[in-house]
Structure 1
Amino acid sequence: MTKLSVNINKIATIRNARGGNTPNVVQVAIDCERFGAAGITVHPRPDERHITGKDVMDLSKVVTTEFNIEGYPDERFMQMIEAIRPAQATLVPDPPHVLTSNAGWDTKENSAVLQDIIRRLKSWGVRTSIFVDTDLQNIEYALETGTDRIELYTGPYADNFSINKEQAIEPFIIASKRAIELGLGLNAGHDLNQDNLRYFKQNIPELAEVSIGHALISDALYLGLENTIQRYNYLLRD
Structure 2
Amino acid sequence: MTKLSVNVNKIATLRNSRGGNVPDLLKVAADIERFGAQGITVHPRPDERHIRYQDTRDLSKLVTTEFNIEGNPNPKFIDLVLETKPTQVTLVPDAVDAITSNAGWDTITHLNFLQEVIKQFKEAGIRTSIFVDPELEKVEGAKATGADRIELYTESYAKEYTEDKEKAIAPFIGAAMKAHEIGLGVNAGHDLSLDNIHYFKTQIPHLLEVSIGHALICESLYLGLENVINMYLHKLK
TM-score when normalising by structure 1? 0.99
- Could you tell me which residue of structure 1 aligns to residue 89 of structure 2? 89
- The DSSP-based 3-state class of the residue aligned with 1:70 is strand
Count of paired positions: 237
- Could you tell me which residue of structure 2 aligns to residue 214 of structure 1? 214
- How far 1:205 sits from its partner (Å)? 3.3
- The DSSP-based 3-state class of the residue aligned with 1:61 is helix
- The DSSP-based 3-state class of the residue aligned with 2:202 is helix
- The DSSP-based 3-state class of the residue aligned with 1:83 is helix
- How far 1:179 sits from its partner (Å)? 0.6
1:111-138 alpha-carbon deviations (Å, 9 max, x no partner): 0000000000001100000000011110
Distance 1:119 1:56 in 2: 22
- Could you tell me which residue of structure 1 aligns to residue 201 of structure 2? 201
- Could you tell me which residue of structure 1 aligns to residue 2 of structure 2? 2
- Could you tell me which residue of structure 1 aligns to residue 179 of structure 2? 179
- The DSSP-based 3-state class of the residue aligned with 1:89 is strand
Distance 1:3 1:173 in 2: 18
- Could you tell me which residue of structure 2 aligns to residue 64 of structure 1? 64
1:67-118 alpha-carbon deviations (Å, 9 max, x no partner): 0000000000000011000000000000211110010000000000000000
- Could you tell me which residue of structure 2 aligns to residue 147 of structure 1? 147
- Could you tell me which residue of structure 2 aligns to residue 236 of structure 1? 236
Letter in 2 for 1:75: P
Matches within 5 A, 1:102-141: 102-141=102-141
Distance 2:203 2:53 in 1: 37
- The DSSP-based 3-state class of the residue aligned with 2:68 is strand
Letter in 1 for 2:115: Q
Distance 2:4 2:54 in 1: 24
Letter in 2 for 1:220: S
Distance 2:127 2:220 in 1: 29
Q: Calculate percent identity across the aligned residue pairs.
A: 60
Distance 1:20 1:197 in 2: 34
- The DSSP-based 3-state class of the residue aligned with 2:13 is helix
Letter in 2 for 1:47: D
Distance 1:205 1:234 in 2: 18
Distance 1:205 1:24 in 2: 37
More displaced stretch, 92-101 vs 184-193: 92-101
Preserved contact between residue 177 and residue 205 of structure 2 (Cα < 8 Å): no
- The DSSP-based 3-state class of the residue aligned with 1:208 is strand
- How far 1:33 sits from its partner (Å)? 0.2
RMSD of aligned C-alpha atoms?
Answer: 0.5
Distance 1:205 1:19 in 2: 43
Runs of 4+ in 1 over 6 A off after TM superposition: none
- How far 1:12 sits from its partner (Å)? 0.3
List runs of 5+ in structure 1 lacking aligned partners. Answer: none
Letter in 1 for 2:75: E
Distance 1:85 1:59 in 2: 11
Distance 2:137 2:17 in 1: 41
TM-score when normalising by structure 2? 0.99
- Could you tell me which residue of structure 2 aligns to residue 41 of structure 1? 41
Distance 1:170 1:139 in 2: 15
Preserved contact between residue 69 and residue 88 of structure 2 (Cα < 8 Å): yes
